Structure 1
Amino acid sequence: MSRTAPINMRVEPSQHALLTKAAALLNKDRSAFILDVACREAENVLLDQRLLQFNDKDFKDFEAALTAPIPENAKLKALLNEESPWEK
């Protein structure tokens, strides 16, 4: 079994109360709640980091693909012109 690492923090009483109340609504203890929320947000932050690095030729190819006209697609056009289920 792997060892755990401690995380300690000091919070304002109002923050403590807020976290305690939210954790209770989810039937979690405060530490589990904070860890779940912090890890979810950390994953979102990491997933939002999109850095594309290209050499000159690859960038030109990428840019050309982005700016090229979209080919005609009859099936997609029909789907987009179809009435949505909630509009029926």
Structure 2
Amino acid sequence: MQPQFAESANRNRDITINIRAQQAQRDLIDRAAEALGKNRSDFMLETACREAETVLLDRRLFMLEEEKFHQFMELLDAPPSGNENLRKVLTTKAPWE
């Protein structure tokens, strides 16, 4: 999934964002950006936008009538039904272990 606000290299940017960081933080960001073949600004902007989208997408609002809300909560609180395939996946040792 491509972030909605991903910047292309030839797109003009007209807003400046300034932040202060510790030397170790900047060095870490620079190493990560270099590992991806990006400059610091591109790396930081893409990473910040991706995280911002994740935060906003994780927010959910459920509006239900009281009776439907109680039914919904009962379903969430009920133990999961048996699922043999899921049980097999969760109990199989990973190949790297």
TM-score in terms of structure 1 length: 0.62
**Aligned-partner Cα distance in 1 for 2:71–2:29:** 50
**Where in structure 1 do 4 or more consecutive aligned residues deviate above 4 Å?**
60-67
Aligned length: 81
- Relative to structure 1, the CA distance from residue 46 to residue 24 in structure 2 (aligned partners, 3 Å threshold; closer, same or farther) is same
| Structure 2: gaps of 5 or more residues | 1-10, 87-97
Deviation per CA, 1:21-44: give whole Å up to 9, x if none: 110111110000001111111111
Q: 1:20 to 1:63 in 2, by over 3 A?
A: closer
Bigger proportion of residues as helix: 1
Q: How far is the alpha carbon of 1:3 from its aligned partner?
A: 6.0
Q: Which has the higher contact order (CA 8 A, sep 6+)?
A: 2
Change (3 A) 1:57 1:10: same
The structure with the largest alpha-carbon Rg is: 1
Q: 1:51 to 1:33 in 2, by over 3 A?
A: same
User: Cα RMSD (Å) of the superposition?
Assistant: 3.4
1:13/1:43 Cα in 2 relative to 1: closer, same or farther (>3 Å)?
A: same
- Please list every run of 5 or more consecutive structure 1 residues that lacks an aligned counterpart in the other structure: 71-76, 81-88
Percentage identity across paired residues of the two chains: 42
TM-score using structure 2 length:
0.57
